[in-house]
């Protein structure tokens, strides 16, 4: 199944990210995971949250961020990839001079119901 970026509408998730679902079971024929592009504008951050069931992979495609993951805080930038285990509290702040853009893979697929806001 193929999706075309220009036809994907963006929406804001519970954590405040601007998301484009590139591949999601609710819209496509895949069954076990989702892939989305998240954009965090300069000088903003997502809300601290966790996912009970989903493991997330973040791959930074542009920009720079300050990642909070459980009890760690570290800088991420273009080319970095990280794993967010199920249940781990996390948020990310765009700290560079351009929007932070992330490819986010969730397994099982992203669900608002699996997102618990912590602030």
Q: What is the average per-residue pLDDT within 13-33? A: 81
In this predicted structure, what is the pLDDT of residue 5? 64
Q: What is the average per-residue pLDDT within 108-113? A: 88
103 vs 28, which has greater pLDDT?
103
Average pLDDT, the chain: 91
Q: Is 5-114 a CATH 1.10.3720.10 domain?
A: no
Residues 65-87 have pLDDT tens digits of 999 999 999 999 999 999 999 99
- pLDDT confidence tier of residue 43, bands split at 50, 70 and 90: very high
> What pTM did the predictor assign?
0.87
Q: Which residue has the tokens 């193929």?
A: 2
In this predicted structure, what is the pLDDT of residue 7? 74
User: Kind and range of the H or E element at 97?
Assistant: none
Percent of the chain with pLDDT over 70: 96
Distance CA 97, CA 64 (A): 8
Distance CA 95, CA 118 (A): 22
1 pLDDT higher than 70:
no
């Amino acid at each position: 199944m193929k999706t075309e970026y220009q036809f994907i509408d963006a929406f804001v998730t519970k954590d405040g990210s601007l998301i484009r679902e590139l591949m999601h079971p609710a819209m496509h024929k895949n069954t076990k995971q989702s892939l989305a592009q998240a954009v965090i504008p300069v000088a903003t951050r997502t809300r601290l949250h966790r996912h009970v069931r989903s493991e997330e992979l973040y791959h930074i495609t542009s920009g720079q961020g300050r990642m909070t993951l459980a009890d760690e805080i570290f800088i991420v930038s273009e080319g970095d990839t990280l794993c967010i285990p199920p249940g781990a509290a996390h948020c990310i702040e765009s700290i560079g001079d351009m929007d932070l853009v992330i490819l986010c893979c969730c397994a099982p697929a992203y669900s608002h119901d699996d997102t618990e806001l912590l602030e």
